[in-house]
Structure 1
């Protein structure tokens, strides 16, 4: 059985006041007022008598007037408290209405993202992003929904079963929307520091130009890059984790041109590059790690041309370079470490070390 002295549980909704039940407050208030009136009456009598020593006793009418005046002041205070209580209830109702409206917007945007027509899905993507800006409490949920959309099965071949006309534009728009929210970590609506999960997604393009990855994990684990350019042009990686673990590159380009890596990790551990290009052209690596351990290059290009390595680690230990092009042409190494321990290089792989020292390798 519920304890009647306990306050009622907080109502559903945001900012709803936790109030005592009326059936308990009302009789307690009446008893307190009665006790207060009784005490005031006798207290006033004692006070007025003490203020008039040697004179005739204070009349009961004077006592009543003084008591009524005091009770009137008390009533005014109680009325103010009641008005404040009513204001809290009105604010709670208003916030509940806001929460219902936001929930309805979420439901509508989610339904639009699942629509058959690309134009409606596109509107749903914009609506979900706008909702994330307006709904701070559930912003992460809205961002997760957009990421989940990119993880959905995606057919890039226009002649294959399951291809959806206009789908590429919807996906590129979602990526651009995410990029736009990663530009300034000081903005109130920033998504910097959020975990972004693209596990197993298929990419045939995408623009993360000048995004700032500060904290959190951006997960491209087991993703497939098939065509187009996924651009991290001028991106800043100062913390957190860009994870391409087990990703497959069969075409297109993933481009870190002019990227600035001062911390965190860009991880290509056990990735497979059979086509396309993974380029760190003219990037500046002064901290953190770029990790290609156990990666396999069987076609395409890994490119660190004109990169500046002044700190941190670029790690190719146990990588296998069996075909394609592997280039450090024009790279500058003034600090940090480039690790090629136990790397295996086949004769058909074109290698350009640039100014880097010749590093012993193990032939397959």
Structure 2
């Protein structure tokens, strides 16, 4: 029967070898035994040398000196071998260290990749969920999707252009504003459709406000500004737009419909800008706006007042067949590049007082149905007013002309236009 009063002896640690055999570590007893044997061998060797060459004769001294020399050589060789072994161990240790560092870098890279993949999956999941919300039937869910996209873009700058594209695509989806509430006696479906349209209007104005806030460099001290954004709202129905002091790269509003007043004062359009075919139903402000690239307002319709006073156009600006149904103001506007107003129609007053045209100004076939003002305007390049219809009061008082000026086949109140009546700064050349 085993005696449980004494604990069993701990087994010695056994290390596996590359060949699969187990190796035991040296015990203290083995080390002591080896040290004793080495000591006994050293004592025996000394006693033997003393016995053989310890008589003090010259021959014995010579033999001892030889033995000592051999011993020194042996010790030196041993020391050299020891140094080589130490160098080998150092080299091996350095190689192990390099290997460990490389393995550590690989593990860190793997961890970084895993974290990056996890972050990308999280972003993708949040993005997909927000887009699904944006396509929901209920307006509150769509609003939640917009705010989720807003937060996602704010936290992930690399996703901002994509999310702006998604919001822009949502605004380009077909939508019509309800004209008036249905009669109380109308069917329930009519009231439901009207209520749904009003809710959709709130969703769309929220989307516009999100874009406007993040495109404004001054919004919340610039902490929520999204730079270098392209905006494509072609064909979109936009309601009471307020993009004041915003900054855009390439902006496309072709065939867009602007309902209500439109405020684009001080906007920086840094790239190509297109408003061709757009319709503005309310008052429109482009005052102090800056157009760095080419801009197109071809076939645009301004149903209310259009103000471009103190705006600057550095590229080519075209207003071909534009319709200005109310007052158009281009006072103190600067056109650094060429400008084209061919076949444009100004139904109400057209004011170009103090405007500066550094390059060519082409206004053929333009109709000024009401008063037109070019007081102190400056034309640095050619100015062509061929076949222009001037109606009512027209003035060029104080205007300056530096290039080729043409009023061929132009009329004033239905009679041939006589440029000398306008008292320009420089005589006109009537061709």
1:146 aligns with 2:178: no
Q: Distance in 1 between matches of 2:161 and 2:359?
A: 37
Per the alignment, residue 8 of structure 1 pairs with: none
Q: Is the 8 A contact 2:317 2:338 kept in 1?
A: yes
1:342 to 364, 378, 381: 364
The structure richer in strand per residue is 1
Q: Distance in 2 between matches of 1:189 and 1:198?
A: 21
1:284 aligns with 2:311: yes
Per the alignment, residue 64 of structure 2 pairs with: none
Once the two structures are overlaid, the 10-residue window that deviates more, 197-206 or 154-163, is 154-163
Q: After the TM superposition, which residues 244-259 of structure 1 pair with which residues of structure 2 at under 5 Å, given as runs?
A: 244-249=275-280, 251-257=281-287, 259=288
Q: After the TM superposition, which residues 1-364 of structure 1 pair with which residues of structure 2 at under 5 Å, given as runs?
A: 55-56=73-74, 57-58=77-78, 62=82, 64=85, 66-157=87-178, 159=180, 164-184=197-217, 190-213=225-248, 216-225=249-258, 227-237=259-269, 239-249=270-280, 251-257=281-287, 259-261=288-290, 263-273=292-302, 275-280=303-308, 282-285=309-312, 287-297=314-324, 300-304=325-329, 306-309=331-334, 311-321=336-346, 324-328=347-351, 331-336=353-358, 339=361, 341-345=363-367, 349-353=369-373, 355=375, 357-358=395-396, 360=407, 362=410
Q: Secondary structure at the match of 2:315?
A: strand
Query: 1:149 and 1:117, CA in 2 relative to 1: closer, same or farther beyond 3 A?
Result: same
Per the alignment, residue 40 of structure 1 pairs with: none
Structure 2: runs of 5+ lacking an equivalent: 1-17, 19-71, 181-189, 378-394, 397-405, 415-431
- Tell me by how many angstroms 1:125 deviates: 1.6
Q: Is the 8 A contact 2:130 2:149 kept in 1?
A: yes
Q: Distance in 1 between matches of 2:73 and 2:327?
A: 108
Q: Secondary structure at the match of 1:203?
A: strand
Q: Distance in 2 between matches of 1:141 and 1:317?
A: 38
Q: Distance in 1 between matches of 2:294 and 2:87?
A: 78
- Tell me by how many angstroms 1:352 deviates: 2.8
Query: 1:245 and 1:66, CA in 2 relative to 1: closer, same or farther beyond 3 A?
Result: same
Q: Is the 8 A contact 1:209 1:233 kept in 2?
A: yes
Once the two structures are overlaid, the 10-residue window that deviates more, 125-134 or 85-94, is 125-134
Q: Distance in 1 between matches of 2:250 and 2:291?
A: 16
Q: Distance in 1 between matches of 2:226 and 2:296?
A: 21
Per the alignment, residue 37 of structure 1 pairs with: none
Q: Distance in 2 between matches of 1:234 and 1:202?
A: 22
Per the alignment, residue 55 of structure 2 pairs with: none
Q: TM (normalized to structure 1)?
A: 0.70
Q: Distance in 2 between matches of 1:119 and 1:100?
A: 26
Q: Distance in 1 between matches of 2:155 and 2:223?
A: 10
- Tell me by how many angstroms 1:146 deviates: 0.9
Query: 1:285 and 1:84, CA in 2 relative to 1: closer, same or farther beyond 3 A?
Result: closer
Query: 1:69 and 1:333, CA in 2 relative to 1: closer, same or farther beyond 3 A?
Result: closer
Q: TM (normalized to structure 2)?
A: 0.60
Q: Deviations over 1:300-355 (max 9, x none)?
A: 3252153333644443122244xx314206x2134425835322427xx3233252
Structure 1: runs of 5+ lacking an equivalent: 1-29, 31-53
Q: Secondary structure at the match of 1:55?
A: helix
